[in-house]
Chains A and B, each alone.
Chain A
Amino acid sequence: MLARETSSSVLLVPNAMHNRRLPRRTFLQQSGATLLGLGPLTLPQVISTRVLGATYSSPSAKDRLNIGMIGVGGMGNGHLGYMLARQSRGDLNVVAVCDVDDNRLAGAVRSTGGKATPYRDYRYLLERKDVDAVVISTPDHWHAVQTVHACESGKHVYVEKPACGTIEEGKAMIRAARENKRCVQVGSQGRSQREAFYAHQYIANGMLGKVHTVKCWHYATPSDDHPVPDSEPPRELDWDLWLGPLPWRPYNARYLHGVFRWLLESGGGQIRDRGAHVMSNALHFLGADDTGPVTIETKGRVPTRGLWDSAIEMEVTYQFKNPDWTLIWAQPGEMVPYPDRDRVKTEGIREGYGAVYYGDKDKLVVWVGDGQVYTEKKALEYQPPANGVQVPKSPRFDHHEDWFEGIKTGRKTIMNIEAGVATANLCVLGNLSLILRRKLNWDPVKREIVGDEAARRLMSRPQRYPYVL
């Protein structure tokens, strides 16, 4: 009866209360303040009143996780808000916060009521024996190094998406999680959302027939239309530590904050920022986390000026074999409007990205794909047969809670590190094909490029010492 109890009208309620017409990051910066009485403090969009009001089983004081937050701006500030909300329920303790920007760090300390210890260098935080787990919300070029270091220091990890910046980084992350038996959850939270579960259930039970094509759409990556010269970094910023593994270069205001996403080295454009959500869902729904494409071919248009070098528009075609299907990432692609226009307005549905799943019997549209996921009514109302395929479901449709449960039970999380790397590899390969301007051949078993020596070298990126894997 679950599907009926969660019919589309019922499903509207939590999001309607929290996502009104607010862009994602605006929402992240505004939500939660009232709830916690913490002024401009943030809560991530993954929190709904239903979630906060749900009957989580609070652990005893000695069993509460001690959490360290690495990176507390942007998404990190959103995660901090979530953790503080859970702390206020007695579920965990936020004991440490870390950032290379003193202003952001000071704000995070304030938001914990002065209780969390501040660090500039995350390695001080990792030295603490009382920290059980860390949330990593730094720019992409730090994800792998910090995840590996955290695992090697015995910490469980929640790391923002996309997991890795290179193919070899992804392998190192998987190895570190396995060898140190740590639970790593990657922040592609779309998989945990309620309507993602129903879309998954619908596809996995064969309602589309054999899925042969998935077409993603997403609006373009912005370009740096007002480039500025290099300059001295602001006093509050440790530029050397912001760069970390990247080759040293002078500071430029167009590197940060937030806009690191539009540089290939520290982000990689929309294909990484949102592709790590939308394509994550595609791999998840098609049971393809353990597979990969055999060819990758990208066409695109890159900026003619400015620091940001990610493609403004691009189309990547991934060809999978056994089973055969095609995944297409397209900026802008062919946007499918959400059918209920009133709902778009009242709930701020970001229909600027999503994917269409084409099977030989039917097709299904899944809108957005991150903290918001929407799908068609037929999937929401579908009830699988008793002997139907059971698909994984995050507890309370809460991505963080899925991580906590993974830590507690040792079971794999819904966006475990292997899945996170599989998704990130798609993003990496799409961008590599773009900059190399040629089709790439990929061995999905060995997870390596074949037949192209220069491309193979770009499967890794030497890192500035000592910020190495």
Chain B
Amino acid sequence: MNPTSPIVASAALGAFASLVRAADNSGVQALMAQIKNPDDQVRGPAWQGAGTVGAPAVLPLGEAMTDTDFEIARAARRAIEVIVRHAGRPGAESERRAVAAELVKLLDHQALPVRRHALWMLSEIGADEAVPAIARLLGDAGTREDARCALERIPGPRATEAIKAAFTVSPEDFKYALAHTLRLRGERVDGYPSRKLVPTKRTTLTE
């Protein structure tokens, strides 16, 4: 048999993929065990070295962000940041896509801090494929401002169109913020002038 036949090549690729998955799983398990370690001398190097573990670790780390030990939760949060910034390096498009896809899944997480963090992480490496999921959170009072910020940072017409669509259905008070983002992206918006110079908070001290 020709060792380079498609069947052999396919089998070899399949075996290689299994090995990669196994390595991924073992890498994720090791990372999560270290992230949940009570000793910051173990946790610290773990989250700082999380970049190469990559996309498979994103969901477990999102879960660990809800840990009752706030230092473990923080380590998980920072591990996600390291993964995102590693995946965003030039020439790593497939890694970026894989990590972004996992972050999109975190947008459905029940914990608000996890959804918010995922939004900000997607603002760094998200692209068109993340826009619909982010745009959905423009309708959630707890996340809409972070979602607006995420879309503000993601380039391209798809994000602009998503903000425009949200603008037509959003509550009046949120339209000012959406109008701001649309104007930053070069869109014309009638009405809803900037409120940035409108003071709102009076001191309780006697003037």
Contact = CB atoms under 8 A, between A and B. Distances in A.
B89 A462 contact: no
B145 interface: yes
Contact of A454 (B48, B70, B85, B198): B85
B164 interface: no
Contacts, number: 124
Contacts of B51: 437
Interface residues of B, number: 50
Contact of A462 (B45, B75, B152, B206): B152
A378 interface: no
Chief secondary structure at chain B's binding surface: helix
A304 B177 contact: no
Contacts of A309: 78
B202 interface: yes
A120 B78 contact: no
A149 interface: yes
Given A149-B197, A451-B90, A468-B196, A457 B153 contact: yes
Contact of A153 (B44, B120, B181, B197): B197
B204 interface: yes
Given A152-B197, A305-B40, A454 B89 contact: yes
A305 B90 CA distance: 29
Contacts of B197: 123, 126-127, 149, 152-153
A241 B150 contact: no
A227 B86 contact: no
A120 B90 contact: no
Contacts of A109: 205
Given A102-B204, A119-B203, A437-B51, A304 B45 contact: yes
A126 B198 CA distance: 10
A113 interface: no
Contacts of B188: none
A153 B194 CA distance: 14
Contact of A102 (B81, B176, B203): B203
A119 B44 CA distance: 42
Contacts of A241: 201
A124 B78 CA distance: 38
A63 interface: no
Contacts of A127: 197, 199
Interface in B162-201: 176-177, 180-181, 194-201
A56 interface: no
Interface string B108-122: 000001001000100
A466 B181 CA distance: 11
B102 interface: no
Contacts of B148: 462, 465
B149 interface: yes
Interface in A224-253: 227, 229-230, 238, 241, 247-249
B123 to A, nearest CB: 7
Contacts of B198: 123, 466
Interface string B57-75: 0000000000000110011
Interface residues of A, number: 53
B88 A454 contact: yes
B70 A227 contact: yes
Interface in A104-125: 105-106, 109, 117-124
B43 interface: yes
A122 B85 CA distance: 36
B88 A304 contact: no
A302 interface: yes
Contact of B48 (A230, A248, A302): A302
Given A454-B88, A457-B153, A304 B199 contact: no
B194 A466 contact: yes
A256 interface: no
A460 B145 CA distance: 17
Given A305-B40, A466-B196, A120 B85 contact: no
B113 to A, nearest CB: 8
Nearest to A98: B203
B124 A454 contact: yes
A436 interface: yes
Given A227-B71, A465-B145, A467-B196, A435 B78 contact: no
- Max count, chain A CB within 10 A of own CB: residue among B43, B196, B206: B196
A106 B124 contact: no
Given A227-B71, A451-B90, A454-B89, A120 B201 contact: yes
Contacts of A469: 196
B89 A118 contact: no
Contacts of A145: 196
29 contacts: A106-B205, A118-B206, A118-B207, A119-B207, A121-B199, A121-B200, A121-B201, A121-B202, A122-B199, A127-B199, A152-B197, A153-B197, A238-B201, A247-B149, A304-B41, A306-B71, A435-B81, A436-B88, A436-B89, A454-B89, A457-B123, A457-B153, A462-B123, A462-B153, A464-B145, A465-B195, A466-B195, A468-B180, A468-B194
Given A304-B43, A304-B44, A305-B40, 6 more contacts: A453-B88, A455-B88, A458-B124, A464-B145, A465-B145, A466-B196
Interface of A: 102, 105-106, 109, 117-124, 126-127, 145, 149, 152-153, 227, 229-230, 238, 241, 247-249, 302-307, 309, 435-438, 451-455, 457-458, 460, 462-469
Closest 3 pairs (CB-CB, A-B): A304-B44, A454-B88, A462-B149
